[in-house]
Structure 1
């Protein structure tokens, strides 16, 4: 049994891609997308006709509406391949606007429903800013389930749990990137690998806290740089993995051991914490890594959203 099959016995495997033509070979349950992945996909000749067809069908509509139709069209194609859910992201440029995020999320879900897809198969991806978390709180009350992304800190995770968010995507690789860059020549790759990886440690702490306190929010590790990070989180609720790393797991026959255990977490001595808006903002501010990576992530997604806008306008 290869490592991908072993991992699926412990964890729900999600494909992190907008390339739905690649999905079938890995048989993931769910799939996630983001503006960068969609932009990468539509630049491929395989997807150019789909983009052009979707844009032409919406000719004359406001640009934001056309973009949402493109995102949902990709989501619909993905849902033909995966049996579970697809995550579709709200424009990162709305990350600090609760009302606009809610409105955009409702429109995305309405487009899916108009195409015959129930909202139980859709997760709306929102950046885990305070405003994004409060938008998700409102959406969840209406049965629109959310995936809070760009999550780098414990306070973001706890606030999402308190808001009743369906799923969070703590970013392993980007946390690793920050600590490696910060350490410079002092970085010891071997000593900070596996369970000692700072990104792995962040997700592990969140997972343990959620299970200890019965928080129903699903924990989905994301943004991996190597399969060692994935192996060190075997047992997590879900892991969203790029096609390249899925292929590496599929190519290995080495034994894979469970690392995260919900029953063990329930016995841990982890006192409950809570975050008001002021406490959340201060805790995030005190975490230089999370502050920098959240801001950077929003900027990068916003840039790619702008590039997608330009591509659509050129058609």
Structure 2
């Protein structure tokens, strides 16, 4: 048994890619996409049909030039998601435009639009997770959307305050970014590699996992953004792990023994009172790394969204 097969016994494996070929090869349960992955996918000639279909859709919908570009961007997001769903049994995570991350109402409207587009393609909403950045506004948007059976994946999660607020809002799933937490600490403190025993990204997920399970929160924890296999193995037993094809290949190529690292407790403790918005913002603000990486992540996903829209601007 290789490490990937062994890991699947403890943890649901999710493919962190929009590449259909990789998804077919590694047979994950779920898959996640983001603006960067979509942008990377459309640069391949094999995805030209998706570009052309999106442009045709946008022209048919009409409206202003801006409307057409927006509709084309939403269409390719959904069409790639539909294609991925043909090859997995579980969920596809599709991300809302990061530039909406500080507007609850606009996030809700965009999420409903994306779900509606999936449903028109015959995909039920219970197979789609709407990805939102873990801002206060998006967490509250996810809370509202769940009332309409629209489940969300709260991404770009770096602080314990974000994790607490998500659980207290009964968010479906969170994606703590292990690798980006690791990167920040290496660049700001040690300047050299850190072993998984003291890896801040790994320790962050351990803390969240133990807290969630102790208080019996139902929010799913999906570790994300890995830099090496050691980080993944240190989180074996986590609810879900979303892994790039490169690291999936490394796991599949190794037959070293794997030991489960995360196990839920048998006894539960009553959870504390929920964080207020004021307390959330203050506690999140105390974590310099989290403030830095959340804003950086939103900016970069926003830039990639603009790059995608620029592609459509030339085609429409």
TM more than 0.5: yes
Specify the alignment match of 1:290 in structure 2.
290
Specify the alignment match of 1:76 in structure 2.
82
Mapped to 1, the partners of 2:148 and 2:253 lie a distance apart of 42
Mapped to 1, the partners of 2:125 and 2:197 lie a distance apart of 36
Secondary structure (helix, strand or coil) at the match of 1:21 reads helix
**Per-residue deviation, 1:270:** 9.6
Alignment partner of 1:243 is 2:245: yes
Mapped to 2, the partners of 1:270 and 1:98 lie a distance apart of 29
Mapped to 2, the partners of 1:277 and 1:195 lie a distance apart of 33
2:100 aligned to which of 87, 94, 118: 94
Mapped to 1, the partners of 2:156 and 2:136 lie a distance apart of 12
Over 2 Å off, 4+ runs: 269-274
Secondary structure (helix, strand or coil) at the match of 1:263 reads coil
CA contact 2:57–2:75 (8 Å) conserved in 1: no
What root-mean-square deviation, in Å, do the aligned CA atoms of Structure 1 and Structure 2 show? 1.4
Alignment partner of 1:106 is 2:112: yes
Alignment CA distance shift 1:312-1:252 (3 Å) = same
Alignment partner of 1:175 is 2:181: yes
CA contact 2:180–2:293 (8 Å) conserved in 1: yes
Secondary structure (helix, strand or coil) at the match of 2:45 reads coil
Secondary structure (helix, strand or coil) at the match of 2:221 reads strand
Q: Which runs of 5+ in 1 are unaligned?
A: none
Aligned residue pairs, count: 309
Mapped to 2, the partners of 1:227 and 1:272 lie a distance apart of 35
CA contact 1:194–1:231 (8 Å) conserved in 2: no
Specify the alignment match of 1:213 in structure 2.
215
Q: Which runs of 5+ in 2 are unaligned?
A: none
TM-score normalised by L of structure 2:
0.95
CA contact 1:153–1:287 (8 Å) conserved in 2: yes
Comparing 28-37 and 269-278, the one that deviates more: 269-278
Mapped to 1, the partners of 2:251 and 2:270 lie a distance apart of 33
**Per-residue deviation, 1:50:** 2.0
Specify the alignment match of 1:313 in structure 2.
313
Q: How do residues 17-28 of structure 1 correspond to structure 2 at under 5 angstroms?
A: 17-28=17-28
